[in-house]
Copies of this chain bind each other. A is one copy, B any other.
């Protein structure tokens, strides 16, 4: 029996790349250069913590769509203010710090797994990152996408249903012909509600060694894989 899935679309932050240590590593020299004695990991985690509330204003219509690059910069300013550092960095330095999100390291299995999957089907990010951000991030990490989909295409943010719908429409595929892959159960739940197939890949250290969320599949997702290489294998055997 032939696999009816014609494209697999991916969450990126957490699922494909390790934002936590990468952002921290990007911030470290900027802090060190000014002899700031704050753990860059703490800054990275606080910064990322502003992500969802900021997008929520757009999901609810309280604010019109703006690209994640801009949201990240605003959130960086709030983060620096929170740590009492806002007077220490000029606009150019903040723009440079914001580029952290374009320099996120893929998990060790990501590129090999995506490459194996790309020989079987269309692969694309379905991320809240903009086309600009995903393009640069993917170039940095050598992620072999067939195209870039996600928030910019929909002018909205996951888990709003518009985003999954817009990705299917952009590929001219029915939702049941598209599989969403993520390490976040709530992302898959939203995709399933839109009619997409689903694949779960755990990333048990996305939030560090003491992570308590998303350690395992919380529903009977169509595929539950150990990592991206396992995902490519399981996709091959999907009925």
Contact = CB atoms under 8 A, between A and B. Distances in A.
A135 B152 contact: no
Contacts of A135: 122, 124, 146-147, 171
Nearest to A173: B132
A95 to B, nearest CB: 11
Contacts of A153: 131
Nearest to A171: B132
A153 B131 CA distance: 10
Contacts of A131: 147, 149, 153, 170-171
Contacts of A172: 67, 69, 130, 132
Given A132-B172, A172-B67, A146 B139 contact: yes
Contacts of A124: 135
A96 B172 CA distance: 15
Nearest to A124: B135
Contacts of A130: 170, 172
Interface string A127-153: 000111011101100000111110011
Contacts of A69: 172
A133 to B, nearest CB: 8
A146 B142 CA distance: 9
Interface of A: 67, 69, 122, 124, 130-132, 134-136, 138-139, 145-149, 152-153, 170-173
